[in-house]
Copies of this chain bind each other. A is one copy, B any other.
Amino acid sequence: MRASESTWITINAIAILKSDMTQAPTSSDSLVDKVVETQYPIEPTLQNRWSPLAFSDQLVEPEKLRSVLEAARWAASSFNEQPWSFIIATRDNPTEFDRLLGCLAEGNQEWAKSAPVLMISVAKLNFERNGTENRHAFHDVGAAEANLAIQATALGLYVHQMAGFDVQKAKELYSIPEGYEPVDAVALGYLGDPHSLSDRLQERLSAPRSRKPLKEFVFTGSWQQSSDLI
C-alpha cells in the first residue's frame, strides 16, 4: 500500500471469535464479518464501527446527514473553539461530487467514487479569542469526526476516513484561507457488496481488524509501565 492511499483502519476483517468456541461462527466471510469481539464490553455504536471499501449506491437521507453533522457539532474542544469545518459533496450533485473526489489520492478514488457522500475536514489553526496557536486543532477535529462516525453507525451508515488526499489542491479548489488546514477526507454511506470490489481491494479488505492490547498503551507511574488497572 502506497502512502498516497493512506486510510483509517481498513486493515479489516476477522472471523468473529466466539467465547464459546464449541459454537462455530455462523459465517466465515472475511469480507463481511468485520465486527470483532472486544476484550471488554463497549457500546454497540463503538463496536460496530469499521471502515468499509464498498458502498451501496443508496443515497443518504438528508435528515440522517444532518444528525451526523450535528453529532460532530457537539464534540468537546479546547476553549470551546470548535475548530472544525466540513466541505461536503453528495453524488446527486455531480459537479461538486467530482470536484471533491478529484482531491483524493488515486488509490482512494478507486473505491470512494462509489460512496454517496464525500467530505473534507478543515482545522482552524489559531484561536479565535487571541490568535495564538491552537495546539489541539487537529485533536479536536479528530474528536468531532469520531462523534460523526458514531452517529453514522447508530443510523446504519458507515464512514471511511482518509489521510490520502491532496491538501494543496483542496486549499486551492475551495479557496481555504491562510490559518486553516485541510485535515482528512471522509467517505460516508450505506454498506455495499464487497464482492463487487477489485481483487486488490478485496484482498485489502480481507485482512483482519486488530488493535494493540491495552497493556501496551495504558501506563501508570512511568512510560511503558503497564497499569495494574487493566
A residues neighboring B (CB under 8 Å): 3, 6-9, 11, 38-43, 45-47, 49, 51, 62-63, 65-67, 69-71, 73-80, 82, 84-90, 93, 96, 99, 132, 135-136, 138-147, 149-151, 154, 161, 163, 174-177, 180, 183-184, 210-212, 214, 217-223, 227, 229-230
Contact of A212 with B82 in the complex, beta carbons under 8 Å: yes
The DSSP consensus for interface residues of chain A is: mixed
From known contacts A82-B217, A138-B136, infer whether A73 and B211 are also in contact, taking CB-CB under 8 Å: yes
List 28 interface pairs A-B (beta carbons < 8 Å), by A numbering: A6-B78, A9-B77, A40-B67, A40-B69, A43-B45, A43-B71, A49-B74, A49-B76, A65-B229, A73-B211, A73-B217, A76-B161, A85-B217, A85-B219, A87-B219, A87-B220, A88-B219, A93-B220, A139-B183, A139-B184, A141-B142, A142-B142, A143-B145, A146-B147, A150-B150, A175-B223, A177-B223, A180-B223
Contact of A46 with B151 in the complex, beta carbons under 8 Å: yes
Picked from B69, B75, B229, the residue with its CB within 8 Å of the CB of A218 is B69
In the complex, chain B residues whose CB is within 8 Å of the CB of A77 = 8-9
In the complex, chain B residues whose CB is within 8 Å of the CB of A11 = 80
